[in-house]
Amino acid sequence: MTASKSSSSPSRPAIPRRGMWLAALAGFALAALLSLALNPRAENAVFDGWQHLAPRDLSGSDVRVVAIGDESLEVIGSWPWPRRVLATMTRRIAEGGAAAIGFDILFVEPDAVSPTRFSRLYAPDDPAIEAWLDGLGSMDDEFADAISAAPVVLGRAGVTLGGAEPANLTQWATITGSPPPALVRYPLVQSNLAALEARAPGFGLLNGAPDADGVVRSVPLVLKTGEVLVPGLALEMVRVTIEQQSGTDPQIVVDPASVTIGQRRIPIDAQGRMRLHFADLPQTQIHSAIEIMSEEFDLSQLKDKIVVVSLTAEGTQDIVATPLGSEMYGVLVQAQAADAIRRGGWLVRPPIVRAAEWIIGALLAMVLLVLATSQAGARSRWLVLMMAGAGLPLASWLLFSLGDLLFDPIRPLLLASGSALAVFAALFGEARRERAALRDAQNRSEGELGAARAIQLGMLPDRAALAKLDPRIDIAAQLEAAKSVGGDFYDIIRLDKDRIVILIADVTGKGVPAALFMALSKALSRSVMLRSPGGLADTAAMLNEELMRDSGDALGLTMLLGILDLASGRAEFVNAGHDNPLRITGDGRVVEEAMEGGPPFCIMDYPWPAEAIVLQPGEAIVLITDGVTEAQDRAGQLFGNDRTRAALLTDQTSAAAMVSSLRDAVRGFENGADPSDDLTVVAFRYLGANPAA
């Protein structure tokens, strides 16, 4: 059967634009909640990774560390050392010209080896010895003298119990301004011995809690004890340094976003902390206490340097985790903080950067949504995501390495991905619904096509009865319906004892409408042939008139209509747009009978001519539809007329053999490809007027 061809291209599921926007908004909201839940862990992982890749360069630092470690304890003795030793070390550092000396140590207890204590232990009843020992003076006083003669900053600690009232302590550096809203506050202060407190030029708080994951990323610059604003150790060491070098006490002014000391403005967070760009302090900038007190040490190495003194011996040291992943002495964090205040080296995450992350995420989500609702393919959407996935981390790295800015690339990517996944999920869901609807439609179509095939095959003559039709003719026929159509038919009608009608036809169109028109055409053909009083040409014109009255606009009919006289072997055919008949001659040749013919039925009124073919006994006629010649293999090649004639040469022993040979040749040529049209073959051999004779 002839069917019109159409082409279609796949399109994305049709989701209302409003539904797409709602899906994107829902995905964006869920991604935003996830982003808030993941932070600060996710962003810290990114920023810590950048610090691993590009730690700060401390080779030019003006900060030195004096470590009281195991080597020093082996020489001088266990901790705590006599205050005279600490006084000697302090004087040595001061002689070197240090700009500031900070102690990351609390001196809460009196000197354990003070002469006064010896007099009470060893000469409680000898006033002369007691007086002599008391006359030696307190080693705490000696340490206090050394402190007062040097730019020393003593540490204090904020506590909640067991400390002094902040208002009772003196000599805090003056800090003015409006502090950040979440500034860390301690109600009490753990201070040093009064003799030391009275002589020290400056004091800094040692407190510095790690982040929630136990990693120290920031150092407090300003804290609160009671209602008093106080500096951290690093900030106070820098203040003393500026005072020593300029001769003037620099002002410390705080606002919710920064601390200003002298001409330097340092960004801080809501807790008054500076975020550090970490590094490993070079070993050349770390000296042991015993090295400092050695006469061989070149004290000029300490000139104009900030020197931080702390315990690093096993069991006494303050060890913290840093973004670099390794454990680090707490004193090294204080040293790096002082260096950052002096030379720069902090990291900044201002509100505008945080806002930019949300804005970029929203813009990316909108771009992906526009692509999803436009004609752009999935490749474009994935390309945008891949470009963002590569570009945003690169931008974050460049901002970190070139500007010490902390931009989190995960947040915008997460927001955009959330929206994209929601839209893709909506598209996927709609695609599934469309596929389900398509399956339902296909099932209905297959049901219709099954009905069409049933109609088509049910109206055909019985093939077994054809073999017994008349001894003067050997006739066979076969129709194999394609999957998608149902419009070929053939018929054999006996008009009288000598004449039979043989016709083969092909309805244009497909499906149930074509099958129904095929049934109508077959019924009308039989009716007209049985009641027509005229010749075959008049009969064809009458059939066309009745078909045109009942056909649809889109349906047509090709037909090869013939009457065979079994007494003479003379056949008349009318060809209405159909394939010409093929004659099998007595010597076995296959010859196409060229016919004048005319257009298919149901198109116009036309005077189709009746054309005669006279068969000699033993000659045969084969009638086919275009389902034979237009059969295609997997490469799209047509079976064609030459292969048709060649197939009819293989077995001419009977009409059934010719039909089977041609059918098998077509199916072998298709090699498993789905047939595009019905395959119909009718073959008959004239055996003569008196075949028994």
Residue found under tokens 């030696």: 136
Indicate if the pLDDT at residue 92 is higher than 50.
yes
For tokens 């011995």, name the residue. 193
Q: What is the pLDDT of residue 318?
A: 80
pTM of the model: 0.64
Neighbour tally for 435: CB within 10 Å? 12
Query: What is the spatial distance between Cα 372 and Cα 192, in angstroms, rounded to a whole number?
Result: 68
| Lowest mean pLDDT segment, chosen from 115-124, 248-257, 504-513 | 115-124
Distance of CA 230 to the CA centre of its chain: 49
Strands 100-103 and 306-311: parallel
Could you name the CATH architecture of 462-686? 4-Layer Sandwich (3.60)
> What are 146's two structure tokens?
């050394």
Q: Report residue 215's pLDDT band, with 50, 70 and 90 as the boundaries.
A: very high
The domain ranges of the chain are 17-51+350-435, 69-108+147-344, 462-686
Average pLDDT over residues 371-396: 72
pLDDT at 10 over 50: no
pLDDT for residue 79 is more than 50: yes
Number of H helices, E strands in the chain: 20, 29
Q: Is residue 618 a contact partner of residue 586, using CB atoms and an 8 Å limit?
A: yes
363 or 429: which leads in pLDDT: 363
Dist CA 29 CA 415 (whole Å): 8
Query: Is the separation of the CB atoms in 229 and 254 below 8 Å?
Result: yes
CA distance linking residue 365 with residue 363, whole number of Å:
5
Mean pLDDT to the nearest integer, 234-257: 94
The burial class, CB within 10 Å (0-12 / 13-18 / 19+), for 447 is exposed
- Band (433; pLDDT cuts 50, 70, 90): confident
Distance between CA 485 and CA 456 in Å, rounded?
10
